[in-house]
Structure 1
Amino acid sequence: MAYSTVLLLCGFSFLAGFVDAIIGGGGLIQTPALLFSLPQYPIPTLIGTTKIPSLFGSLMGAFQYSRHVAVIGRFIGPMMAIAFGASWLGSWTLTQVPNSFMKPLALIILIGVFIYTLTKKDFGQVSQKFVTTAQQQTRMWLMGAGIGFYDGFFGPGTGSFLVLGFIALIGFDFLKASAHAKLVNASTNLASTLFFLNEGKILYSFALPMAIANLSGAFLGARLAILKGNSFIRVFFLLLIAATIVRFAWDLVK
């Protein structure tokens, strides 16, 4: 194991944790870094290795947000359980079939998300009550199933999709959406981590130091998001979505 590679990956993991705690999408930084740095390993092993640092970071983000933002406990608990099961199923599916078709689909969705968020200035700036309690419950649980499976099967952008869903479908503002998204993302990361642990597809010599770096980045990112509020998170969200679109488009045309 080259220590320079470990240090490099820890740097990327710190940045991933920082970004992910603010608006999600840390996997867009951390996963490519592993793929490029360790091309000699199978992709499922590298994906599995990213799950431990992602889990540590999402747990830290969830802890920081929970101290400052109220969450809907009666719905978020079942949503996390649903997302856990769906993520496990997605991780298992990844070991059975390729996921290459996901990137073009995700690209189309992200372009639509970017245009909508850019043109709708008040999107996610304040919480709005536009669904009934029963609808809120149903939508959150369906989100847990769909996005949970996506995270286990493909992953990049999961946090951003969760934030978008909480704003567009539930009526949260950016800060509240980020707080709930970190809880659900912690659940999906835990499921994938346990799955890949069971499969023996984790490189601990890389995963453990990266986990410490990711956790540190998440601590700073969450504190900054809480301090700066919705306007700051909205700008960060747009920048991240734009970067994701560019990356996915580049992967498709190169």
Structure 2
Amino acid sequence: MPDISTTMIIVLCVAAAAAGWIDAVVGGGGLLLLPALLLGLPHAQPAAVLGTNKAVAIVGTAGAAVTYVRKTPVDVKLAVRIGLAALAGSVGGAALAGGISKDTMRPLIMGVLVVVAAVVIFKPGFGAAPSASPVSRQRVLLTIALAGLGIGFYDGLIGPGTGTFLVLALTALLHLDLVTASATAKIVNCCTNAGALAMFAYQGMVFWQLAALMAVFNLAGGMVGARMALKKGSGFVRGVLLTVVGALVVKLGLEQWG
């Protein structure tokens, strides 16, 4: 366990629970969890902070995924295929991260998010109900390429909001309702988190005791969030989605111009 105060441990556990709840509903829990760890572990190596973050997040994500799968119909095989593509994409993104200017990428991503928010606001039916028509093989392959490789690449390159992007992409490409898209995104996230965590663990960059304690709270938050999303439906998820998208735009803007 790193040398941190009891008060900070409590703060980190509360942040882990809140991040688990946000992540389970619509993705984007890392917007809260990673800054909290950076605050609580100011002298730790960045890789150790990222590794601990993954060790915490994968537990909550897995718990939320199990809750969703038990309560709502999810195409697990398709989700795993997208997840494996996302894992490959994230490796490629991480490999190129040092050679691409993130200052150039952020304004583009912010623009995409603003457009997404406009679509959700001005198209109330977005993600309200699944499409009755079957999804073609071509659209499935497009989803694997864009939601898997593409968003996985973004996760390795920059990272924030990956879960939110997955929910939006799955809703738009596979014509899922927002609740089913959130459930599918959790399975995809489990795949990418597992790959990243394995690499960080191999490098010895995980504070396992702290991660285990925070993971308990992240798991609880994730399971509560999944149950609330299932109970309250797509309208509730839509509201949380807009909140998270707004927070992501603000975060990227502060990083770019703050």
Instruction: Calculate the TM-score normalised by the size of structure 1.
Output: 0.92
TM-fit CA distance, 1:228: 0.3
Change in CA separation of 1:195 and 1:139 when aligned onto 2, cut-off 3 Å = same
TM-fit CA distance, 1:141: 1.2
| 2:74 aligned with 1:100 | no
Query: Is 2:170–2:181's contact at 8 Å kept on the other side of the alignment?
Result: yes
2:43 alignment partner, SS class: coil
* Equivalent in the alignment of 1:229: 233
Ranges in structure 2 where 5+ consecutive residues have no aligned partner = none
Change in CA separation of 1:232 and 1:85 when aligned onto 2, cut-off 3 Å = same
Paired AA for residue 105 in structure 1: L
Mapped to 1, the partners of 2:135 and 2:236 lie a distance apart of 29
* Equivalent in the alignment of 1:148: 152
* Equivalent in the alignment of 1:23: 26
Change in CA separation of 1:235 and 1:21 when aligned onto 2, cut-off 3 Å = same
TM-fit CA distance, 1:25: 0.4
Query: Is 2:28–2:163's contact at 8 Å kept on the other side of the alignment?
Result: yes
Query: Is 1:22–1:233's contact at 8 Å kept on the other side of the alignment?
Result: yes
| 2:248 aligned with 1:244 | yes
Work out which of the residue numbers 35, 38, 44 in structure 2 matches 1:32: 35
Query: Is 1:91–1:192's contact at 8 Å kept on the other side of the alignment?
Result: no
Change in CA separation of 1:49 and 1:24 when aligned onto 2, cut-off 3 Å = same
Paired AA for residue 240 in structure 1: V
Ranges in structure 1 where 5+ consecutive residues have no aligned partner = none
Work out which of the residue numbers 49, 53, 57 in structure 2 matches 1:54: 57
* Equivalent in the alignment of 2:72: 69
**Number of aligned residue pairs:** 253
- Percent identity, please: 34
Deviates more, 1:167-176 or 1:145-154: 145-154
TM-fit CA distance, 1:12: 0.6
Paired AA for residue 166 in structure 1: L
Match runs of 1:125-204 below 5 Å: 125-128=128-131, 132-142=135-145, 143-204=147-208
Mapped to 2, the partners of 1:43 and 1:235 lie a distance apart of 33
Mapped to 1, the partners of 2:92 and 2:197 lie a distance apart of 12
Instruction: Calculate the TM-score normalised by the size of structure 2.
Output: 0.90
Task: Tell me how large the CA RMSD over aligned residues is.
Answer: 1.9
Query: Is 1:75–1:140's contact at 8 Å kept on the other side of the alignment?
Result: no
Query: Is 1:57–1:214's contact at 8 Å kept on the other side of the alignment?
Result: yes
**1:77-101 per-position Cα deviation (integer Å, ceiling 9, x unaligned):** 322222223334444555x557733
TM-fit CA distance, 1:47: 1.5
TM-fit CA distance, 1:7: 1.6
| 2:213 aligned with 1:216 | no
Mapped to 2, the partners of 1:90 and 1:210 lie a distance apart of 28
Mapped to 1, the partners of 2:218 and 2:94 lie a distance apart of 21
TM-fit CA distance, 1:130: 6.4
